[in-house]
Structure 1
């Protein structure tokens, strides 16, 4: 597995978001470039404004040798695939991730994946992790600490103008999903995006908070993994609440 980081490319594209959203980073003391870890956090609406900033912060500012686990769909389109790879992203297949962890890379993962990016109205700052435990199983296998992080701000940059559920829940669409090939292609309807009222995002401040490392035990059963995942999720939710209070305090001052 070869990772195709392009430090200048990452810095240049993330600069657009940094200038517009003026991100604040908290908890940098928990970032240790000398030791590989798995960075786990909430994915934001549409996923194109928060991820470049986080990658730039970890890779360029803290010299963390890291790769970002990306949804399979990013690698279907030739030009877009090349852009994504320049950010050090790889297709999120377990054998690829395992090969990179064997090489000692840190891993940036959003367990909510594409579904968490394509949020519906009312789902802002919700972790939509479904039944995904693969990231914890890999962290256990390689004894990586989990560094949870929370991103606040990106889910507020758009107001919804169209709710994808009006399509997904329609009886005709549900009939389509009864065809196995279509159901797989459309991921049970998860790939249908809700759309914003306006194309220009609101200029709101971004906050990113990294949290203390969470050690993963060596022999965890399914119940242990469920408990651990819930603990990590609750830490992220608590951090989001703190960042919301911080943001509200700054905006009212």
Structure 2
């Protein structure tokens, strides 16, 4: 029997969840000409600190403005919190494991991927707008398996709403903390220190404008070897980094 995955997109909930962010940050969107609802794609971009400011806005914009029921690959932790997990599922998110992603793609859904995952969410001092993808290539292989184009996007603003007073770097240098991480169960739970959140000076985020831009799609048809895979990933990262710098420059010059 073929496995199925029930995916829910509650239009009212999606709009409600993003309403506060849209009111507070007044996001602007660019590159709508690069969005093609008729063909599913894998949307890949940078993740903002804490991960709660960018995702709802992107999902809302694609779903309610472009009629794209995008499925977000979310961190496992979201699905262990009783009330929260119901809301996360209601906006079309699934546990970000490859098996579930494949089931969603078999149903023809577009996929929203942040390759930096949980580590990119808990950014540390000086890591603003960094793509912390490590050696992850699985999302590209997945897109290739289903013939999906990669649809890059950038999100500007989210990494600047907080000034950090604490991050994990200092903690990870402490011998006593390394001793704690040496215990298998605790080390696994904390992912060897990777998911320790940074602490901001300001509880209320700064009210600064957000900008989102969708870049031209990138075909994966020319990936035939491991070397091609590495080259494509580097090219994708380069496109995202260049656009982040470009938008920040235009913003700082008052041209947006």
TM bin (shorter chain): over 0.9
Equivalent residue, structure 2, for 1:46: 50
Indicate if the aligned counterparts of 1:141 and 1:218 stay in contact, CA closer than 8 A: no
Match of 1:25 among 7, 25, 29: 29
Could you tell me which runs of 5 or more consecutive residues in structure 2 were left unpaired when the two chains were aligned: none
Equivalent residue, structure 2, for 1:226: 230
1:198 counterpart = 2:199: no
Q: Tell me, what secondary structure is at the counterpart of 1:34?
A: coil
1:84 counterpart = 2:95: no
The CA RMSD over aligned residues, in Å, is 1.3
Equivalent residue, structure 1, for 2:11: 7
Q: CA offset at residue 180 of structure 1? A: 2.5
Q: Tell me, what secondary structure is at the counterpart of 1:223?
A: helix
Correspondence list, 1:158-177, <5 A: 158-177=162-181
Which whole-Å deviations, capped at 9, do the CAs of 1:114-154 have from their partners, x for residues lacking one? 10000000000000001111110100000100010011111
Which whole-Å deviations, capped at 9, do the CAs of 1:50-103 have from their partners, x for residues lacking one? 110000000111001210000011111111111111110000010100011011
TM-score, normalization by structure 1:
0.96
Which whole-Å deviations, capped at 9, do the CAs of 1:187-221 have from their partners, x for residues lacking one? 11011111100110000010111101100026532
Q: Distance in 1 between matches of 2:224 and 2:84?
A: 38
Equivalent residue, structure 2, for 1:157: 161
Q: Distance in 2 between matches of 1:105 and 1:132?
A: 22
Q: Distance in 2 between matches of 1:184 and 1:228?
A: 31
TM-score, normalization by structure 2:
0.95
Q: Distance in 1 between matches of 2:149 and 2:201?
A: 40
Q: Distance in 1 between matches of 2:223 and 2:118?
A: 30
Q: Tell me, what secondary structure is at the counterpart of 1:250?
A: coil
Q: Distance in 2 between matches of 1:97 and 1:121?
A: 32
1:131 counterpart = 2:131: no
Equivalent residue, structure 2, for 1:145: 149
Indicate if the aligned counterparts of 2:222 and 2:228 stay in contact, CA closer than 8 A: no
